[in-house]
Amino acid sequence: MQDIRRNNVDRFTGFGALYDQNRPSAPTEVVEILTTYLGHKPRMVADVGCGTGLSSWIWLHEADRIIGFEPSDDMRTVAESKWESAGKPDNLRFVSGLSHELGLPDDSVDILTCSQSFHWMEPQSTLSEFARVLRPGGIFAAYDCDWPPMLDWELEQAYQQLVLTADNRALQLSSPESQAYKWSKDGHLGQIQQSGLFRYVREIVFHHRETFDAERYVNLALSQGGLQTALKLGADEVRTAADEFRQLAVKVFDGHARSALFSYRMRLGIV
């Protein structure tokens, strides 16, 4: 299990800036939904697997304290750089940490989130740790968007094919002992329910729009971990496929910015 955890962390090395500049910002609906269930302003929010902090900043004025946990030095460095540029806000900090050993006191967290990250965590040990640190009535929420965002069916189809090609090539080129492991997002709700650690469990679906031009849409695809892994391993055919995808994106956008729709699925549990 330790090797899997290390491989999952290593998967996100080397493209923190690309990730941060092109991934969608966390929707404000996350704050609205979770604060409504909590019933008051959270004293402590833990954002686990926070990456470059895109999912942490939405809590800046909505919680007394926020801690972003990110084991990837590359991703966390980007988060810390943005924190410094923003004047080092006192109520926000970023630390290295794994989901099964957060190092927080018992009953110390009101809201704990995993944005696009819970599928990289071993669920049983992770959920036990989350339940330990959450206060009674506290909330765990794993939320993910569907890839790719809705914009143009031909471009979406090409996006899916590019990512599938890259994932398959990465598996072919990498040794079994170095491969990352991803738990199915479709299993999140069942894992939360079956843990027996939460008294209320449900799934909530919502949407979020962001503006893209051709370059950002292509870079969104390039920010996928499997594609980056394939490129690192020298998969020239994936690089060629990415160039062809870029040409299609330029044609579809035709020099204009367009609104893309992200569909989100939040699976939550209340202790």
Q: What percent of the chain has pLDDT over 70?
A: 97
Cα–Cα distance measured from residue 253 to residue 259, given in angstroms and rounded to the nearest whole number: 11
Q: Are 179 and 154 contacting, i.e. CB atoms less than 8 angstroms apart?
A: no
Q: What is the pLDDT of residues 75-91, one digit of tens each?
A: 999 999 999 999 999 99
Per-residue pLDDT at 91: 98
Q: What is the pLDDT of residues 140-187, one digit of tens each?
A: 999 999 999 999 999 999 999 999 999 999 999 988 878 889 899 999
Per-residue pLDDT at 15: 84
Cα–Cα distance measured from residue 91 to residue 239, given in angstroms and rounded to the nearest whole number: 42
Q: Are 73 and 92 contacting, i.e. CB atoms less than 8 angstroms apart?
A: no
Per-residue pLDDT at 8: 64
Select from 181, 183, 184 the least CA-distant residue to 4: 181
Q: Are 129 and 123 contacting, i.e. CB atoms less than 8 angstroms apart?
A: no
Q: For the whole model, what pTM was predicted?
A: 0.94
Instruction: Please give the mean pLDDT across all residues of the chain.
Output: 95
Q: What is the pLDDT of residues 218-246, one digit of tens each?
A: 999 999 999 999 999 999 999 999 999 99
Mean pLDDT of 24-47: 97
Confidence of residue 253 (pLDDT cuts 50, 70, 90): very high
Confidence of residue 2 (pLDDT cuts 50, 70, 90): low
Q: How far is CA 13 from the centre of its chain?
A: 14
- For every residue of 195-251, DSSP letters joined together read T---SEEEEEEEEEEEEE-HHHHHHHHHTSHHHHHHHHTT-HHHHHHHHHHHHHHHH
Q: What is the pLDDT of residues 91-128, one digit of tens each?
A: 999 999 999 999 999 999 999 999 999 999 999 999 99
Mean pLDDT of 42-70: 98
Cα–Cα distance measured from residue 157 to residue 146, given in angstroms and rounded to the nearest whole number: 13
Provide the 3-class DSSP secondary structure of residue 25: coil
Cα–Cα distance measured from residue 239 to residue 251, given in angstroms and rounded to the nearest whole number: 19
Per-residue pLDDT at 20: 93
Cα–Cα distance measured from residue 57 to residue 79, given in angstroms and rounded to the nearest whole number: 10
Which position has the token pair 């460095």?
77
Select from 171, 78, 179 the least CA-distant residue to 120: 179
Question: What is the widest separation between alpha-carbon atoms in the chain?
Answer: 54
Q: What angle do CA 241, 210, 251 make, to 5 degrees?
A: 40
Q: What is the pLDDT of residues 185-194, one digit of tens each?
A: 999 999 999 9
Per-residue pLDDT at 4: 65
Residue 10 has pLDDT above 90, yes or no: no
Confidence of residue 5 (pLDDT cuts 50, 70, 90): confident
Per-residue pLDDT at 7: 66
Read off the tokens for 162: 């590019």
Residue 1 has pLDDT above 90, yes or no: no
Cα–Cα distance measured from residue 147 to residue 221, given in angstroms and rounded to the nearest whole number: 9
Residue 11 has pLDDT above 90, yes or no: no
- Tell me the C-alpha to C-alpha distance, in Å, between residue 197 and each of 99, 193, 201: 16, 8, 10
Confidence of residue 215 (pLDDT cuts 50, 70, 90): very high
